[in-house]
C-alpha cells in the first residue's frame, strides 16, 4: 500500500524521472532541462522539506517505488540566493550552456517552437532572481514559501495529493519556520490541478497570473505559532 515518507538519497533518480513524465507534452523537447529547474535544486538545497509517495513495492507500470513527491522551500529569498551561489556552479556543462542568462523568456509552452522553448527554460534555469517576482516586491513577504508537487497518473485522484500537501505543511510547522503564506505556479489550462489546489485552500493571484500561467497562493497563520495545527 502506498505511503508518504521523507525523501532519501536513493529517491533521486525516481524524482527526476517523475518530473519529466508529468511535464506537459509540449515541453518534452526540453525534458532534460526541467528537473534541473523544478526538482534537483530542491532535493539538493532543501532535502528536509522533500517528501515522497512510496508505492510500497515497485509500481508494476514503471518499475519504481517512488510514484510522487512534494518539494519546496519555506523561504524563497534565501533559496534563490543559495540556488545562485551553491547550485548553479554544480550544473553539468551541457545543461548550463543551453542558453545565456539574458536570453528573453518570451516563448510559451504551446508555441510549437522547441528551440525557443528550450532557450526559455534555459533562461529560467539561470535566473533564480525571477522567483522573487521583483516587479511586485510585496508578494514574497506575504507568500514566502513555494512548492512543487507531482504524482504519476496511476496514483492521482486517490487522495495522495492532499496527504502530500499536509505532510509538507506539517514539516514546516515542525521546524517553526514562521511561514505566513506559500505559492506555486501551474499551467492555466490544467483545470484538474487548479481544482485540486482550490480544495487545498489556494486561490488565484490575478496580478501575477497571465493567460498561460496561474500563480496560486495560500495564506497561513505563522507556521509553528499557536493554532497553526488547525490550518489543515
Q: What is the mean pLDDT of residues 53-60?
A: 76
**What pTM does this model have?**
0.87
CA-angle at 37, arms to 132 and 144, nearest 5°:
30
The CATH number of whichever domain residue 208 belongs to comes to: 3.40.630.30
Q: Of 161, 206, 156, 204, nearest to 183 (Cα)?
A: 204
Contacts of residue 167, Cβ cutoff 8 Å, sequence gap at least 6: 4, 51, 70
Residue 214 has pLDDT above 60, yes or no: yes
Is the pLDDT confidence value at 134 over 80? yes
Residues 6 or more apart in contact with residue 48 via CB below 8 angstroms: 6, 171, 175
When pLDDT is cut at 50, 70 and 90, the band that residue 62 belongs to is: low
**For residue 115, what are the contacts with CB-CB under 8 A and spacing of at least 6?**
none
Among 83, 92, 163, smallest CA distance to 126 is for 83
Distance CA 51, CA 47 (A): 8
Closest CA to 181 of 220, 133, 208, 148: 220
Please say if the pLDDT value at position 106 is more than 90.
no
3-state secondary structure of 143: coil
pLDDT at 173: 83
Q: What is the pLDDT of residue 99?
A: 63
For residue 164, give its domain range.
3-231
Residue whose C-alpha cell reads 518539494 in the numeric block: 71
Angle of helix 160-174 relative to helix 191-199, nearest 10 degrees, comes to 50
Domain count, the chain: 1
Amino acid at each position: 500500500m502506498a505511503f508518504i515518507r521523507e525523501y532519501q538519497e536513493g529517491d533521486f533518480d525516481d524524482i527526476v524521472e517523475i518530473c519529466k513524465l508529468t511535464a506537459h507534452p509540449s515541453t518534452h523537447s526540453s525534458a532534460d532541462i526541467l528537473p534541473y529547474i523544478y526538482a534537483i535544486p530542491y532535493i539538493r538545497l532543501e532535502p528536509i522539506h522533500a517528501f515522497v509517495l512510496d508505492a510500497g513495492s515497485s509500481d508494476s507500470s514503471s518499475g519504481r517505488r517512488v510514484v510522487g513527491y512534494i518539494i519546496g522551500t519555506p523561504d524563497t529569498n534565501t533559496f534563490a540566493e543559495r540556488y545562485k551561489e551553491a547550485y548553479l556552479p554544480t550544473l553539468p556543462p551541457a545543461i548550463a550552456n543551453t542558453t545565456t542568462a539574458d536570453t528573453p523568456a518570451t516563448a510559451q509552452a504551446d508555441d510549437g517552437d522547441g528551440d525557443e522553448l528550450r532557450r526559455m527554460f534555459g533562461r529560467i534555469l539561470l535566473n533564480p532572481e525571477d522567483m522573487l517576482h521583483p516587479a511586485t516586491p510585496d508578494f514574497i513577504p506575504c507568500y514566502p514559501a513555494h512548492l512543487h508537487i507531482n504524482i504519476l497518473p496511476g496514483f492521482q485522484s486517490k487522495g495522495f495529493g492532499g496527504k502530500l500537501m499536509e505532510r509538507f505543511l506539517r514539516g514546516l510547522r515542525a521546524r517553526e519556520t514562521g511561514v505566513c503564506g506559500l505559492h506555486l505556479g501551474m499551467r492555466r489550462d490544467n483545470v484538474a490541478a487548479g481544482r485540486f489546489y482550490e480544495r487545498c485552500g489556494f486561490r488565484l493571484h490575478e496580478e501575477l497570473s497571465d493567460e498561460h500561467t496561474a500563480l496560486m497562493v495560500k495564506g497561513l497563520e505563522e507556521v509553528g505559532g499557536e493554532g497553526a495545527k488547525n490550518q489543515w
